[in-house]
Amino acid sequence: MESGIRQVDFSRKLFGDNFAWGVSTAAFQIEGACDADGKGLSIWDVFTGKKGKIANGETAEIACDFYNNYKRDIDLIRELNIPNFRFSISWTRIIPNGTGAVNQAGIDYYNNVIAYSLENGIEPWITLYHWDLPHELELKGGWTNRNIIGWFSDFVAVCAKAFGDRVKHWMVMNEPGVFTGAGYFLGNHAPGRIGLKNFLPAIHHVTLSIAEGAKKLRGILPDAIIGTTFSCSYIEPYSTKQRDVAAANRADALLNRLFIEPLLGCGYPVKDVPALKGIEKYFLTGDPHNLTFDFDFIGIQNYTREIVKYSFFTPYINARLVKAEDRAVPLTEMKWEVYSPAIYNVIKKFSAYAGVKNIIVTENGAAFPDVVVNGEVDDPLRVGYLQNHIEQVLKAKNDGCKVNGYFVWTLTDNFEWAEGYRPRFGLVHVDFETQRRIIKSSGRWFASFLKR
């Protein structure tokens, strides 16, 4: 047995033959080649060029160089025995200005990625939107402009027609809560907008676009398996005091319920977060229905637990997260608490919605400060993290939850948004100077776990 790898007393078999095992990535975090072959600029290309936005001024101009060397990394997926590969489509490779002319080179590139995956017995799962909005559309208001529903739906149609004959599984968007919250309220992600005046219309137009994009897919590809993914936090109150419990409830509404509930036909959780009331201003006739779609699955993405406390000084929500650093708990490189029962609890929570038919864990993983020693990367903390979380997924499944898949975030170390390259989440280590890859102990463990 290799160092850092312990024997676990559960095996892949216990999850059943139809359980989908995979690895997840996102275009902007791995591809690089930001202006190759006719690609237009995205809001992340522009944001990373601004001073002070990204740790150490890093950019994703090269990232993992996946665009030029996708075969190298798909070979690694095969070597790790991973049967499903989730990746996202960069909108500006397909439609450089966001609307209008289609760029055949972009279509060719994703066709090559799909073909090479299939040749290697790997099933491609597509995320249509993982945060890299066309910059040209941001100039027109981005997600705050209601016309984006049509622009997005046209992009979805192009992808469905181009790739739908070979791709069965589709996810419309990745974590709307994060890209609207960080990008349109806090301003620490692209496009860097702040305040409720941006956040509220963005929430509504994103939710309408998720439903509309899914309907567009269904219209073109009646047999597609259609989902969308959500960031899911397991939230606990700081104490049993009524005001902390109520604060945790408000945080839960904002972080966990904001997007899924309107999509399921339950409306926005305005009662629990009165600051959301202003969203009604953006409603047009028919919207409550336009917000809904009957998804084949939802993707849930969980990394940690949050402890929430009442806070007089936090505007709109009067609740704040108690930092994991201040709680004397084990931490990842992101300063997130390592707490595997979180994933069990979020699976239970989302499984309880009557409208949720199937759950796939579309992301789970951890960043730790890996080091290369004699050409090897031993990462026992990540091995333990994955083992414990997978065990919790099994527990949820055995409890009768509708969970039928688990995807690790992520294949290779990559560009971690505003944090740059420091946090390493990969099963495979990347030397960003040389692009050399080293499979970490965690990658080896996952490969041996998946081996039939």
Which positions are annotated as active-site residues? 175, 363
**Can you name the residues that pair with 301 across neighbouring β-strands?**
231, 363
Only segment of 102-110, 162-170, 174-182, 292-300 that touches ligand BGC (CB under 6 A): 174-182
Q: By CB under 6 A, name the one of 5, 20, 23, 26 that touches ligand BGC.
A: 26
Check residue 109 for interaction with ligand BGC (CB under 6 A).
no
Q: By CB under 6 A, name the one of 139, 157, 178, 266 that touches ligand BGC.
A: 178
Q: By CB under 6 A, name the one of 175, 212, 337, 413 that touches ligand BGC.
A: 175
- Residue 107 or residue 393: which is nearer to ligand BGC going by CB? 393
Q: By CB under 6 A, name the one of 231, 249, 340, 441 that touches ligand BGC.
A: 231
- Residue 231 or residue 442: which is nearer to ligand BGC going by CB? 231
Only segment of 97-105, 170-178, 188-196, 282-290 that touches ligand BGC (CB under 6 A): 170-178
Q: In this structure, are strands 169-173 and 225-231 parallel, antiparallel, or unpaired?
A: parallel
Say if CB 171 and CB 125 are below 8 A apart: yes
Say if CB 191 and CB 43 are below 8 A apart: yes
Shortest spacing between CB 334 and ligand BGC, in angstroms: 6
Q: By CB under 6 A, name the one of 42, 92, 144, 174 that touches ligand BGC.
A: 174
Check residue 228 for interaction with ligand BGC (CB under 6 A).
no
Check residue 409 for interaction with ligand BGC (CB under 6 A).
yes
- Residue 232 or residue 279: which is nearer to ligand BGC going by CB? 232
- Residue 362 or residue 387: which is nearer to ligand BGC going by CB? 362
For 22, 92, 193, 322, the CA distances from 137, given in Å and listed in that order, are: 32, 10, 14, 36
Shortest spacing between CB 6 and ligand BGC, in angstroms: 25
Say if CB 97 and CB 135 are below 8 A apart: no
Say if CB 67 and CB 122 are below 8 A apart: no
Shortest spacing between CB 53 and ligand BGC, in angstroms: 16
In whole angstroms, what is the distance from residue 201 CA to residue 325 CA? Answer: 34
Q: How many residues bind ligand BGC (CB under 6 A)?
A: 10
Shortest spacing between CB 28 and ligand BGC, in angstroms: 8
Q: What sign results for the dihedral spanned by CA atoms 52, 53, 55, 58? A: negative
- Residue 91 or residue 238: which is nearer to ligand BGC going by CB? 91
- Residue 175 or residue 236: which is nearer to ligand BGC going by CB? 175
In whole angstroms, what is the distance from residue 259 CA to residue 229 CA? Answer: 10
Only segment of 173-181, 187-195, 259-267, 311-319 that touches ligand BGC (CB under 6 A): 173-181
Max Cα–Cα distance, the chain, nearest Å: 64
| Nearest Cα residue to 197 out of 262, 318, 288, 278 | 278
| Nearest Cα residue to 128 out of 372, 343, 299 | 299
Show the binding pattern over residues 124-163: x = contacts ligand BGC (CB under 6 A), - = does not. Answer: ----------------------------------------
| Nearest Cα residue to 322 out of 308, 341, 336 | 308
- Which amino acid appears at position 247 of this protein? A
User: How is residue 269 annotated by DSSP?
Assistant: -
- Residue 29 or residue 180: which is nearer to ligand BGC going by CB? 29
Contacts of 229 (CB under 8 A, 6+ apart): 127, 171, 173, 174, 175, 298, 299, 300, 301, 362, 363
Report the interface residues with ligand BGC, using CB under 6 A: 26, 29, 174-175, 178, 231, 301, 363, 409, 416
